[in-house]
Amino acid sequence: MAPPPCRTAAPLSGRTAAPPSGIPRWAARAAGAPPGTGADLAGLTVAVVGLGYVGLPTALGLWSAGATVVGIDISDRRLRAVRAGDVDLLPAQRAALACAGSTDQFRLTTDAAALRTADAVIVCVPTPVTEDRLPDTAALRAACATVVGHAAEGQLIVLTSTSHVGTTRELLTEPLAARGLVAEENVLVAFAPERIDPGNQRHMPEHTPRVVGGTGPLSTRAAAFLLRSTASHVHQVADPETAEMAKLWENVFRAVNIALANELADACLHLGLAPVPVIEAAATKPYGFMPFRPGPGAGGHCIPCDPHYLLGQLRRDGPATPVVSAAMTALHERPARIARTAAGLLAADGIPAGRARVLVLGVAYKEGVADVRESPALRILGLLAAQGADVRYSDPYVPSVTVDSTVLRSEPRPHDAHGEWDLVIVHTVHPGTDLTWLDTVPRVLDTRSPKGPPLTPVAAS
Ligand SMILES: NC(=O)c1ccc[n+]([C@@H]2O[C@H](COP(=O)([O-])OP(=O)(O)OC[C@H]3O[C@@H](n4cnc5c(N)ncnc54)[C@H](O)[C@@H]3O)[C@@H](O)[C@H]2O)c1
């Protein structure tokens, strides 16, 4: 087996060799640093606040580039899982964790006091939505308040959590100034949205460009310097607000296009056409088209959440956003349409939902990860269970899920029971999943490659 891809930079022992002497040190680094990867960050201590799906790979990327990394998370449970390697990572990141975890240059703590000794701080805490699909900034506000409270002269603070436009100034720059730490004078502050795509081996973070917008040129350059070693290149913009909006634009674009793909897929089915060959044909156009596929809805921590940070902000006094609003409503309703269509397929063959055995194949929100946050599968399972169906699921990445307070465990060999399923709903197809056995199942509702019938509309909510 190949050795883990440990970093090439010579690590320092413990704290940085020279304490930060203020912004000129950062300015000199940023101005004089050659582009490239490897040893760029040697000598810097970087604190990463929030070691989740984004923060952990970020911390590993910075460590691989030579930095001493202090990972700070409020969850002791999460830190134990990281230490044990019991986390969702790509193979290369997992190898880096095995390597980093055995050094003094990769430390994990729940103690926010560790922030004081960092040259740079990266904030990667969650920005979910509430039950009512409104922005929930509680974790972000708490984390930023902690960072501000422990901020030290000369520090670079980079916010990477997706949030509404103006967040960086509101939660960092202004409270820092109230403490006497003025951006561009005593501290450096920037926003750099994350683009990590968990489970995606084709677009690794180090091969993906980053956008950086600082509160001034020094902040932008210092943040670009810090992140350059962990990205293919850095695109600098004029201010944090441009970078904040760029992230929202990216994910609104995806949300609207996913909703559009679902709508046009339903139109195809109504017209007696399989949508996927139509999409593949359209995708041969070399310009002005990007293929999106239909699916069971949108899950994860980005697409179902991020657009609401824009909608929530504009709702107060902004322009109308009917296209984005309709897309988000359609995505939210999609799992209910899948559940109704499933019940309809069963009913067409005289099987009441209350007597049916239904298997959902794949419950992670997307392939290659164990993440079930906002996964449409959970709502599909819950809605069918509420009708009395005997619902099961199979997902090698997800050993158990809780659906409306009932714990379900993954069926390890669903094909062995192929004769018992009245219906299989294909939700997420992980790499290597064998679907050939579905030929022997009487009813299959493939949400990714639907063959018909059109999904049943839900009543307006
Ligand atoms: N998951 C993705 O695919 C993805 C991709 C790009 C951007 N983002 C954005 O990145 C941000 C983080 O998302 P994530 O998926 O990594 O979240 P996550 O829930 O996986 O991880 C967040 C971590 O932050 C910790 N945390 C919460 N409050 C904290 C605090 N006050 N101090 C220290 N730690 C704290 C939590 O314990 C958790 O371990 C979000 O804004 C998200 O929108 C996510």
Distance 142 CA to ligand 1 centre (A): 13
Condensed to tens digits (0 to 9), the pLDDT of residues 15-40 reads 344 444 578 788 777 776 655 444 47
Task: Give the lowest-confidence range in 280-294, 304-318, 358-372, 437-451.
Answer: 437-451
Question: What is this structure's pTM?
Answer: 0.91
Answer whether residue 305 shows pLDDT above 70.
yes
Condensed to tens digits (0 to 9), the pLDDT of residues 265-299 reads 999 999 999 999 999 999 999 999 999 999 999 99
* 8 A C-beta contact, residue 162 and residue 251: yes
What confidence tier does 366 reach under pLDDT thresholds 50, 70, 90?
Answer: very high
Residue 197 CA, closest ligand 1 atom number: 3
Residue type, 79: L
CA 432 vs. chain centroid, Å, equals: 23
Task: Give the lowest-confidence range in 89-98, 141-150, 180-189, 450-459.
Answer: 450-459
Which mutation among 51, 54, 87 tests ligand 1's pocket best, with the greatest number of atoms within 8 A of CB?
54
* 8 A C-beta contact, residue 153 and residue 22: yes
Residue 56 CA, closest ligand 1 atom number: 16
CA Rg value for the chain: 24
Which mutation among 73, 90, 93, 136 tests ligand 1's pocket best, with the greatest number of atoms within 8 A of CB?
73
Residue found under tokens 């968990």: 198
* 8 A C-beta contact, residue 118 and residue 126: no
Give, as one character, the DSSP assignment of residue 419.
G
Condensed to tens digits (0 to 9), the pLDDT of residues 327-338 reads 999 999 999 999
Answer whether residue 237 shows pLDDT above 50.
yes
Structure tokens given for 194: 């994350």
Whether 20 lines ligand 1, by a CB cut-off of 6 Å, is no
Determine the Cα angle at 260 with ends 345 and 353, to 5°: 15
Set out the domains of the chain in order of their start, with CATH numbers: 23-238 (3.40.50.720), 334-446 (3.40.50.720)
User: Please, what is the angle between helix 23-32 and helix 217-228, to 10°?
Assistant: 60
Q: CB-side exposure of 108: number of CA atoms within 13 Å?
A: 25
Measured from the Cβ of residue 318, the count of other Cβ atoms closer than 10 Å reads: 11
Q: Answer yes or no: 268 catalytic.
A: no
Structure tokens given for 408: 């379900």
What is the per-residue pLDDT for 19?
Answer: 44
What is the per-residue pLDDT for 30?
Answer: 76
Condensed to tens digits (0 to 9), the pLDDT of residues 369-386 reads 999 999 999 999 999 999
Q: Which of 144, 268, 302, 305 is catalytic?
A: 302
Whether 108 lines ligand 1, by a CB cut-off of 6 Å, is no
What is the per-residue pLDDT for 202?
Answer: 80
Measured from the Cβ of residue 63, the count of other Cβ atoms closer than 10 Å reads: 28
Q: What is the mean pLDDT of the chain?
A: 91
Residue type, 158: V
CA 124 vs. chain centroid, Å, equals: 11
Task: Give the lowest-confidence range in 59-73, 394-408, 413-427.
Answer: 413-427
Cis upstream peptide for 24 (omega within 30°): no
Distance 390 CA to ligand 1 centre (A): 34
Whether 21 lines ligand 1, by a CB cut-off of 6 Å, is no
Q: What are phi and psi of 172, to 5 degrees?
A: -120, -65
